[in-house]
A and B are shown apart, each in its own frame.
Chain A
Amino acid sequence: MIDLIKTMFALITKYKNLLWLGISKTLILGIVGTVVGLLIGLVVGALRAICMKKEPTEKTWIKLLKKIVNMILNIYITIFRGTPMMVQAMIIYFGVYDFGLHWDSFIAGLVVISVNTGAYMAEIIRAGIQSIDKGQEEAARSIGMSDWQTMRYVILPQAIRNSFPSIGNELIVNIKDCCTLSTIMITELFYQAKTIAGSTYKTVPAYMIAAVIYLILTSLAAFIMRKLEKRINHTESNYFASATVVENQEGK
């Protein structure tokens, strides 16, 4: 046991630079993937929620458009949720080469993880939207707000708050699962551990280092997400600045 820890420390000092590079790539992949994925998820989830309901006075072509959009988004979600990210990475990375284009594997990795997360986020956001009381939407529509305005100012802010724990979950999953992107030669943490193990034949210590670092990263992510969640729940309203406070006091 003590031997193992000693070897681990020896490896860490020796391969410090390699590990730092791995950590930074893993973090960038995880965070960018989650943030961009969330943005994709917001648009796709909101679009799906809008497309799934019927307006009383809408024209036939709008109905048809909604159906088509909903179908396309459905296909996107089905494909990217239903196939492994590793396979997606291979197809997208090498697929672009087939078109005669050259691109950096790290960029490819960012694209893959974002698009993949987007599919999950879309479903998380849609569930968040569905959890909002129908009265909120009716109230917004009854004072003349459009579909998008209702989504943007009333439903989505509440939906994001409700689905915040799931969004944090996605961040943790992404930090761990971007290790599958090592298949397209992205030098993230898992790849570096593999390199260390390969060149020293100290397999268990090398992967133990990776495990400990992953654990620290995910715990940190969980901690930050919990803080953020508390903060979001405390600022009940954040749409307008509280300029009205001043005015109120003047009025008294």
Chain B
Amino acid sequence: MEKVIEIKHLAKSFDKLEVLKDINFSVSKGEVVSVIGSSGSGKSTMLRCINLLEMPDSGEIFVNGKNILDGNINQHRKEVGMVFQSFNLFNNMSVIENCMIAQIKVLKRSKEEAIKIAHENLKKVGMDAFADKPSTQLSGGQKQRVAIARALCMDCQVLLFDEPTSALDPVTVQEVLDVMKKLADEGMTMVVVTHEMAFARDVSSRVVFMEKGIIVEEGEPKQLFTSPKSEALQRFLGRFVNQ
């Protein structure tokens, strides 16, 4: 299988706090990898390192076989889409402008082409009817779907989701998860940091469990959820069962 992301011996610390210790992990084309673990376990930091929003202290990250620390950082970033917990739609633009700006300024597409691609992707996430609304007037779930469309417009090879549903209420969580499931079915390569165990179990092809900056366990969702080997994962999953 062609490897889209490959991380070797990644380490990162903030001042004296070691957040990531020797992370080794790879994602193949078409895979949907869910990263679970309690808060502070380093999941988000690892994800942000892949997009170089955080600078790794040591180790290597390859995307499509290229070391991301070589060459142009913007070139790399446009190949890796990112969806944030707090949506981060551009507040000074409408929904469709959010999807167009980088197409025009980074990919140098013509305005007509950018509009066409933006509409296509907005349709995909079910937000095309809102194309001309100011992005500040949308609900959380709608914002997140637009954020996904914005990332898709860049024709990225892989999408990173940083707790995409953590800021949403239980009902709107579903509309975002449905979009993500649809993308997964279409064969999009995705890495999802999530607290939605149902999503991790049902949609992802592989689950990675992190604890205190290391990958403790990884494997098929069914096997991981039904018979966790490590004590840490048992404890972590126990909390969800008890709810």
Contacts and interface: CB of A to CB of B under 8 A. Distances in A.
Interface of A: 55-57, 133, 135-136, 138-146, 149, 153-154, 157-158, 161, 236-240, 242-245, 247-248, 251
A139 B84 contact: yes
B51 A142 contact: yes
A154 B73 contact: no
B115 A244 contact: yes
Given A141-B53, A244-B132, A153 B73 contact: no
The 4 A-B residue pairs with the shortest CB-CB distance, nearest first, are A144-B78, A56-B55, A236-B134, A139-B88
Nearest to A141: B77
Interface of B: 51-55, 69, 73-75, 77-78, 80-82, 84, 86-94, 96-97, 100-102, 105-106, 111, 115, 119, 128-129, 131-132, 134-137, 147, 150-151, 154
Contacts of A161: 92
A55 B73 CA distance: 9
Contacts of B100: 240
B84 A149 contact: no
A66 B187 CA distance: 43
A157 B90 CA distance: 10
Given A149-B105, A244-B115, A157 B92 contact: yes
Contacts of B115: 243-244, 247
B131 A244 contact: yes
B177 to A, nearest CB: 21
Given A139-B90, A142-B77, A142-B82, A153 B131 contact: no
B132 A248 contact: yes
B25 to A, nearest CB: 20
Contacts of B82: 138-139, 142-143
Contacts of B132: 242, 244-245, 248
B39 to A, nearest CB: 18
Contacts of B94: 236-237, 240, 242
A95 B34 CA distance: 68
B91 A143 contact: no
B171 to A, nearest CB: 24
Given A141-B53, A143-B154, A146-B74, A236 B119 contact: no
Contacts of B54: 56
A144 B51 CA distance: 10
11 contacts: A57-B69, A138-B82, A142-B80, A143-B150, A144-B154, A149-B106, A236-B92, A237-B97, A243-B111, A248-B119, A251-B128
Chain B CB count within 10 A is highest, among A141, A158, A245, for: A141
A56 B162 CA distance: 20
Contacts of B97: 237, 239-240
A6 to B, nearest CB: 54
Given A133-B88, A251-B119, 18 more contacts: A140-B102, A141-B53, A143-B150, A145-B105, A149-B106, A153-B101, A158-B92, A239-B93, A239-B97, A240-B97, A240-B100, A242-B94, A244-B119, A244-B131, A247-B115, A247-B119, A248-B119, A251-B128
Chain A CB count within 10 A is highest, among B75, B106, B128, B147, for: B106
A171 B51 CA distance: 43
Contacts of A143: 77-78, 81-82, 102, 106, 150-151, 154
